[in-house]
Amino acid sequence: MNGSAAKAAGRAMVVMERAAPWLLLALAGALRLPRLGLRPLHHDEGTNVIFLLRLLREGAYDYDPSNYHGPLLCLLSAVPMLLFGASTEMLRAAPAVLGTLMAGIPWCLRREIGRFGAVAAGVLLATSPSLVYYSRDNIHEIYLVFLTLLLVAGVVRGSSQTGWAILAGAAAGGLLATKETAWLTLAALGAGLIGSRRGGLPAPRRAALAAFALTAGALAIALYSDFLTEPGGWRRPIEALLLWGRKGLHGDGHLKPWWYFPAILARDEPAILLTALAGAVMALRRRDRFAVFLAAWGGIIMVLYSCIPYKTPWLVLNLVLPLALLGGRAFGVVADRARPMGAAVAGRRRRAAAGILLAAAAVVSARRAFDLAFVRYDDDRASALVYVQTRRDALRMVARIEDYARRHPLGRSLPIQILSPDYLPLNWYLRDFTDVGYFGSASEDPGGPAVIARADSADRVASVLGEGYARETYALRPGVDLCLFLQRIDPPAAGP
């Protein structure tokens, strides 16, 4: 290669390096950001909005260890809604943006996993079906894995840079304020670092360690103490850990076999699973200490979650993250491997082969992600990731009520009785109606223009309501149907 050609190649490399993170963000955003209101809110999202709506309407949020994990989700979710108004799109904006940003963070690890490896890890994260699906769902897991990745990047860069150490501390404090399983993540990361002799990273300076610890502790305490207004706030994460630990050990209705997560990976994440296995083999053969750290982290977190009886599919995100980074490292080894003099042609062929393989993996994963996120998002036959998901039929019921209210003289002041213990997430979709009553079961004297009852009690409700009601049945989620009773609106009397 002559001098001018070498300079041109160098300039092209610089341009690609600068563009790589932005291209990864664009790829991730294309699968996460459009049509965030398409999929009906999950039952757990309906639970979370109970506290979120109170925060938005009353400016009050009091953390309770029994109230479905840590406070960070509610506080971050409120920001887009305060800025742009309450809508399903804004409700899900925070997890969608965090899921998008995850694809660019591996670029901070390019020294450890190689430039091509960083791009490959970003592509695997960007197109991961499980990450795409749950980035469009406002539950705690996407916050947890985003902060985990940010923590790893901060620790890697923060051994010598205090600013990165502070960022890592903020990520660690945020982890603790997100969900009780953060302790499993920290345990797996710590064991992985010890087993790989710090992953080949230099020993951190004392100033960096102090900055990390102070930032993590200050943020976690501030969030759990309602910004220092609750003096006993430091005890709350301990209480939450004990509470949810008992639920995890007993299954609490979500008991699954040990092979539950490997089965999800095999069906929905084959690209990440296979490349991670290749990365683990390469790590051991090459004695690549950072790759050994990734393999140990991924292996330990898989064992921990597989041993706990309580299993839900979104927990698999904690496995997908380290496996995607390890898979990226496998691509990096192939593409960036040192070559003897005169082997430039072979090196280009090797990088081309790695690029083709990565593109193929991305296409397979992206197609699966698109299908689950935009087409079969409520079909539990499509994937184990679709778990007790609210059916799109529920949105048709909401649309029917909206249409009825437009024609009714009372409009959104229309009284609505919900006579069912299963109603979430209708509390979100009916939030603008001013007279909604949640009774939990069929009352003795139901009445009013609009009544919703569970299908197994609908006949009894219909007999009490009597004539004058139209009855329609809608699926809420698997195994739960709701019946909507709408009082017939009398046509206006004819004029004289």
> Omega of the bond prior to 446 within 30 degrees of 0, cis?
no
123-126: Cβ within 8 A, 24+ apart: 123/24, 123/27, 123/358, 123/361, 123/362, 124/271, 124/272, 124/275, 124/324, 124/327, 124/328, 124/361, 124/362, 124/365, 125/28, 125/321, 125/324, 126/24, 126/27, 126/28, 126/31, 126/362
What average pLDDT is seen over the chain? 89
Name the CA radius of gyration of the chain, rounded.
Answer: 26
- Six token digits for residue 463: 């007999």
pLDDT, tens only, 2-34: 555 445 545 555 566 678 889 999 999 999 999
Task: Return the pLDDT at 365.
Answer: 97
Whether the pLDDT of residue 193 is over 90: the answer is yes
pLDDT, tens only, 422-463: 999 999 999 999 999 998 887 777 888 999 999 999 999 999
Q: Which residues, listed in sequence order, are joined to residue 438 by a DSSP beta bridge?
A: 418
CA dihedral 417, 421, 423, 425 (to 10 degrees): 130
Query: Predicted confidence band at 229 (pLDDT cuts at 50, 70, 90)?
Result: confident
Mean pLDDT of 187-205: 91
Mean pLDDT of 402-423: 95
338: buried, middle or exposed (CB in 10 Å: 19+, 13-18, 0-12)?
exposed
Could you give the C-alpha distances from 40 to 237, 337, 387, in angstroms and in order? 31, 47, 13
Q: Which residues, listed in sequence order, are joined to residue 419 by a DSSP beta bridge?
A: 453
pLDDT, tens only, 152-161: 999 998 776 8
Work out the percent of the chain whose per-residue pLDDT is above 70.
90
Whether the pLDDT of residue 293 is over 70: the answer is yes
Task: Return the pLDDT at 15.
Answer: 63
438: buried, middle or exposed (CB in 10 Å: 19+, 13-18, 0-12)?
middle
Lowest mean pLDDT: which of 248-252, 283-287, 460-464?
248-252
432 CB contacts (<8 Å, ≥6 apart)? 412
Q: Which of 480, 492, 406 is nearest to 450 (CA)?
A: 406
Beta-strand runs (E) in 24-142: none
Distance separating alpha carbons of residues 364 and 275, to the nearest angstrom: 14
- Six token digits for residue 402: 């909206």
pLDDT, tens only, 164-184: 999 999 999 999 999 989 999
Query: Predicted confidence band at 341 (pLDDT cuts at 50, 70, 90)?
Result: very low
Q: In what order do the strands lie in the sheet with 469-477?
A: 436-438, 416-419, 450-454, 480-487, 469-477
Whether the pLDDT of residue 222 is over 50: the answer is yes
Task: Return the pLDDT at 349.
Answer: 80
Helix (H) or strand (E) holding 474: strand 469-477
Query: Predicted confidence band at 226 (pLDDT cuts at 50, 70, 90)?
Result: confident
Q: Which of 145, 151, 186 is nearest to 171 (CA)?
A: 151
**Helix residue ranges, H only, 33-71:** 43-58
Contact between residue 136 and residue 373 where contact means Cβ atoms under 8 Å apart: yes
Task: Return the pLDDT at 493.
Answer: 46
- Six token digits for residue 496: 């004289």
Distance separating alpha carbons of residues 135 and 143, to the nearest angstrom: 9
- Of 162 and 15, the structure prediction assigns the larger pLDDT to 162
Mean pLDDT of 108-122: 94
- Six token digits for residue 101: 């940003």
**Would you say the pTM of this structure is higher than 0.75?**
yes
Task: Return the pLDDT at 198.
Answer: 87
- Count of other CB atoms within 10 angstroms of residue 408: 17
Whether the pLDDT of residue 398 is over 50: the answer is yes
53 phi and psi angles, rounded to 5 deg: -65, -35
Task: Return the pLDDT at 9.
Answer: 46
Mean pLDDT of 266-295: 95
482: buried, middle or exposed (CB in 10 Å: 19+, 13-18, 0-12)?
buried
Could you give the C-alpha distances from 120 to 4, 335, 377, in angstroms and in order? 29, 10, 27
- Count of other CB atoms within 10 angstroms of residue 286: 13
Distance separating alpha carbons of residues 136 and 18, to the nearest angstrom: 28
Whether the pLDDT of residue 38 is over 90: the answer is yes
Angle at CA of residue 176, ends 184 and 265, nearest 5°: 40
Mean pLDDT of 386-402: 97
Angle at CA of residue 438, ends 421 and 452, nearest 5°: 75
